[in-house]
Amino acid sequence: MGSVIPLKKEVDNSYLELVNLVGNKLNDVNQQIKYKLASEINLIHKMTSYHLKSGGKKIRPLLTLSSAKLCGYENGIRDVNLAACVELIHNATLLHDDVIDNSNLRRGIKTSNTIWGNKSSILVGDYLLSRCFEMMVEDGSPEILKLLSSTSSKIAQGEISQLEYKGEIDILEETYFDHWARNGNSILRPIHYPPITQEPDGAVRAGAHGDINLITLLMGASTGGLQVLRKDGKWIDAIPEEDELVINVGDMLERHTNNKLRSTIHRVINPPKEEWENPRYSIPFFMHPRSEMKLDCLDECVSPENPKQYEDITAGEFLHQRLVEIGLIKK
């Protein structure tokens, strides 16, 4: 039988409970890592010893060992070897991360790339991964090899994706807009287009425009007609399925991101003649922040290649400015 540590809302010593659960096996993992990383090349020895001494709680090997125990695995060293594999993958990504992020410190001490340079750190990180894959092959389980190989691939793809978008829009906190959206000026607006009773003057029902707000959410409409303008100047239909949303970037978000995200230009066209008798209903949600939110260009979106495009302004000031421009209010 495995052991279960009850989950509590506040447990100060939960980490120690996990350590006690696996017994001496965590020390066995540390010894296995040292054994596998042994090398006659002096630089590898120096860098791996330095990096491993930097500390860390070894959460990943702890979870691997405790999961094995939970599943009833007691005898043998497969759990130790695989826990060492997981930790080696993690440490390899740390070495690579520090190079990519130009980090000088990790856990309060100098990073390996600061001492030995980027090239050495990348190569030693690769050395850790190669040793890890040797251990996976030694384990002999195709399922384990497939799982950890896939995990390593996803980690690498994530790092490349981060690198690709660095300098465009660095990842903001998931809750970045929550504070400003709460008790903001958002509008849920029902829009009714009556049936067409005579030949219209043109094909367009609502002319091309962008929305003033941050983003617009649209669950769909009773009939089609919504089109958005692509970068190549072509209009395309935007007809969501029942379980889909149309999400438009608004002028405020375009300004806040210094044109990294462009306001979605859209329009509504008239239906074919056989559908003129049908009214069109839509209920878009225009997400406006509170008036005092600053729409200053985000630092992450300003660079020598993309200098600051807009003067600083608040959401309230920008909204007033735009409403004056379109004639809905007077100066």
Residues of the chain with CATH 1.10.600.10: 14-165
Output the average pLDDT for the chain. Answer: 86
Say whether pLDDT at 9 is over 70.
Answer: no
Average pLDDT of the residues in 97-104 = 83
Pick from 178-182, 260-264, 291-295, 316-320: least confident: 178-182
Please, which pLDDT band fits residue 245 given cuts at 50, 70 and 90? confident
Percentages helix, strand, coil for the chain, rounded to the nearest 5? 45, 15, 45
Within 8 A by CB and 6+ apart from 261, the residues are 169, 249, 253, 254
pLDDT score at 3: 39
pLDDT score at 56: 77
Residues of the chain with CATH 2.60.120.330: 178-325
pLDDT score at 20: 87
CATH number given to 178-325: 2.60.120.330
pLDDT score at 179: 82
Within 8 A by CB and 6+ apart from 28, the residues are 77, 80
Please, which pLDDT band fits residue 7 given cuts at 50, 70 and 90? very low
Pick from 2-11, 15-24, 164-173, 271-280: least confident: 2-11
Handedness of CA 70, 76, 81, 82 (dihedral sign): negative
pLDDT score at 164: 65
* Whether domain 14-165 has CATH 3.10.129.10: no
Partnered with residue 287 across adjacent β-strands are: 215
SS (H, E, C) 127-154: HHHHHHHHHHHHHCCHHHHHHHHHHHHH
Query: What tokens were used for 240?
Result: 């969501």
pLDDT score at 171: 54
The β-bridge relationship of strands 235-237 and 246-249 is unpaired
Say whether pLDDT at 12 is over 60.
Answer: no
Say whether pLDDT at 150 is over 70.
Answer: yes
pLDDT score at 209: 93
pLDDT score at 211: 95
Handedness of CA 301, 307, 311, 317 (dihedral sign): negative
